[in-house]
Amino acid sequence: MLVIVLLCSPFALADKGDASNNSQKGKPDSTPQSDDFDDDEEDEEDDDGVDDVDNSYEVDDDEEDDDSDEADDNKGKAKGKTEKDKGQKIFANMTKEEKKQIIEEIKNKTEENKQMLKLELQNFSNKDKQKIFKNQNRVRETVMALLAIGNATNMTGIGKNISAIAVSFNNSVKKTIQAEEAIQNRGGIMRFLFGGDEKAAAAIQSELNKNQVMLQKLETVKEGYGPEFQQLIDEQTQLMQQEQERLMQLAEEEKGDKGLFGWLFK
């Protein structure tokens, strides 16, 4: 009996070993499947998470831009008020003699510029072109006068603002002169058949709109000056407004000229 038991034991141990090996061989097969499934889930979760973050960043950027624009606007207003207060303080502390000297300097420079523009007109042999420049010299005189005011009062911190407005007017007058020349040069037959030059008229109106914005800024900047200097600025503003009205009438008349067949294309 003992012999039989001893003979059967190796076979039993061998069966257990085979079963153990088979069970160990089966484990790697199931493990990769589990890992693959988990990785897919993690990838999907990661993708969802990135999308959410990207959307949130887009919203935050827009909000930051709005806040930045508002901050810049407030900063600009605060700077303008500071310059205005500084200018008023400087002019208030000036003696009458100092103010008189600066005003005389501005007037002398303005008169020199007027004489220069008059001499320039004499160089035009074309009477129509001479007329155009003579009319628009009101703006050019304003530009030069404002530049003189800006340079003479640069120590106030607001002189540069006056100069910037003058430069804007100067750029505008170049374009309105070109447009007015185009209107003047439009041939009689072309005008008779198709009416006025609407493109040139539209260019004039566009510049007049820009100039109106600059005139409003000029009124704001003017508040930083003393009463004596404000009067000088008002004189230039009146000249500018007169030329604005003339050009506006010219543009409206040009657009209203339809010609014989112009109504077909307008």
Question: What is d(CA 239, CA 213) in angstroms, rounded to the nearest whole number?
Answer: 16
Residues 6+ apart with CB under 8 A from 62: none
Mean pLDDT within 114-134:
88
Residue 111 pLDDT > 70? yes
Residue 77 pLDDT > 90? no
Virtual torsion, Cα 92, 97, 98, 102, nearest 10 deg: 110
CB atoms within 10 A of CB 105: 14
pTM: 0.66
Per-residue model confidence (pLDDT) at position 37: 36
Q: What is the mean pLDDT of the chain?
A: 76
Q: In what helix (H) or strand (E) does residue 224 lie, and over which residues does it extend?
A: none
Closest-CA residue to 139 (of 104, 165, 161): 165
Residues 6+ apart with CB under 8 A from 234: 222
Lowest mean pLDDT among 83-87, 128-132, 161-165, 228-232: 83-87
Lowest mean pLDDT among 26-35, 142-151, 153-162, 238-247: 26-35
Residue 183 pLDDT > 50? yes
Mean pLDDT within 155-170:
88
Q: Is 95 left (phi over 0), alpha (psi -120 to 50) or beta?
A: beta
Digit-coded pLDDT (tens) for 47-59: 444 344 333 333 3
What residue segments make up the domains of the chain, in order of their start? Answer: 61-264
**How far is C-alpha 192 from the geometric centre of its chain's CA atoms?**
41
Per-residue model confidence (pLDDT) at position 212: 95
Triad 84, 88, 92: Cα angle to 5°: 175
Cα distances from 224 to residues 96, 106, 232, in angstroms, run: 18, 17, 13
Mean pLDDT within 135-143:
91
Lowest mean pLDDT among 63-67, 134-138, 148-152, 163-167: 63-67
Per-residue model confidence (pLDDT) at position 257: 87
